């Protein structure tokens, strides 16, 4: 939960299931002539639904949030709606990644003024960065907006940076950096050790079971885009892992983790990560629309051109998650 005294979130505050939201789009959003594409009514409905279901935090304006396809005015209105709806009941982070440090600072200050708790932030994009440049980028943002917690958006495909252990060792000295959204399960232990355990590394929902087995003390939180296909399976996983840490019986958590891996497999194009990175927006929003828990709406330009096979992958993934949502509804402890 957000700290009652209004102070900045810390590493210890990052626990449980963090849902990653799309930026819901109106019906005309695929047309470049549409300049007000955010469906604010659906935004409010989704945030309220996630909080009512029991998620522990919300991340927004990443890749599937189409951060690169939104105008600043659209991002501002969306963040305002999310903050106003959440009303401090759970921590909310808004992505403020841009092409340069100064614009990122401007957007992060605006997000803070709206009442968001933190930013999900990747390095400024264009040139391939080195460690020194990326570390300085995070230092500059932290210095400029000291009240904001930072979630490192560790996506090596999007940011042309591998986020190696020496990077984590250096940014762990920045107190505003409290968490990282990562898919690097294979390097999880090395990254945790490099950071001195001072940055909460959040794996994908289907990898949370494995992360908790490897490092039960550190692995207390995970991210889930599938939660916007229906939050029940992700919340059930959270509770089963918590129970397993107490009881030592990991059977139920392991079985649910496998179900989540199976449901996620179609939207990562059955292991073709190059294709997944090409059509990430369409795959994620497509499965959310198919699952029917919320309406993510159409893709914004330039992501509106989607091959039929990608549509099928998204629909298959959405159908599989919807089945899990039905199966696990009512099992989580909010």
Asked if 300 and 70 count as a contact pair (C-beta separation under 8 A), the reply is yes
In 3-state terms, the chain is what percent helix, strand and coil (to 5)?
50, 10, 35
Catalytic residue ranges: 181
Distance CA 321, CA 18 (A): 17
- Six-digit token string for 146: 């000291």
Integer CA distances (angstroms), 322 to 35, 65, 233, 281, 316, in order: 32, 21, 9, 19, 10
DSSP β-bridge partners for residue 180: 152, 201
205-214 vs 251-264: helix axis angle to the nearest 10? 140
Asked if 179 and 154 count as a contact pair (C-beta separation under 8 A), the reply is no
Asked if 176 and 96 count as a contact pair (C-beta separation under 8 A), the reply is no
32, 103, 51, 113: which is closest to 79 by C-alpha? 113
Distance CA 278, CA 161 (A): 17
């Amino acid at each position: 939960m957000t700290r009652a005294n209004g102070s900045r979130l810390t590493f210890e505050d990052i626990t449980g299931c963090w849902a990653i939201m799309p930026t819901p789009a109106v019906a005309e959003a695929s047309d470049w002539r549409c300049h007000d594409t955010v469906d604010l009514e659906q935004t409010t409905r989704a945030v309220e639904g996630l909080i009512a279901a029991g998620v522990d935090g919300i991340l927004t304006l990443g890749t599937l949030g189409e951060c690169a396809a939104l105008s600043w005015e659209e991002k501002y209105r969306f963040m305002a709606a999310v903050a106003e709806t959440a009303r401090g009941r759970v921590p909310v982070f808004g992505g403020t990644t841009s092409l340069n440090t100064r614009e990122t600072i401007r957007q992060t200050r605006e997000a803070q003024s709206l009442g968001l708790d933190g930013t999900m932030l990747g390095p400024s994009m264009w040139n391939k960065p080195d460690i020194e440049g990326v570390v300085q980028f995070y230092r500059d943002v932290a210095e400029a907006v000291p009240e904001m917690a930072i979630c490192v958006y560790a996506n090596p495909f999007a940011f042309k940076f591998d986020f190696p252990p020496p990077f984590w060792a250096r940014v762990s000295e920045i107190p505003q950096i409290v968490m990282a959204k990562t898919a690097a399960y294979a390097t999880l232990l090395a990254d945790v050790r490099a950071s001195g355990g001072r940055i909460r590394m959040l794996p994908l929902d289907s990898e949370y079971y494995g992360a908790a087995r490897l490092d039960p003390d550190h692995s207390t939180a995970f991210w889930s885009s599938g939660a916007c296909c229906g939050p029940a399976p992700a919340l059930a996983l959270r509770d089963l892992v918590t129970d397993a840490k107490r009881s030592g019986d990991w059977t139920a958590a392991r079985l649910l983790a496998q179900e989540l891996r199976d449901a996620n497999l179609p939207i990562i194009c059955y292991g073709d990560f190059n294709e997944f990175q090409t059509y990430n927006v369409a795959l994620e929003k497509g499965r959310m629309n198919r699952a029917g828990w919320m309406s993510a709406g159409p893709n914004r330009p330039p992501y509106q051109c989607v091959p039929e096979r990608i549509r099928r992958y998204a629909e298959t993934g959405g159908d599989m998650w919807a089945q899990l949502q039905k199966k696990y509804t009512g099992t989580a402890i909010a």
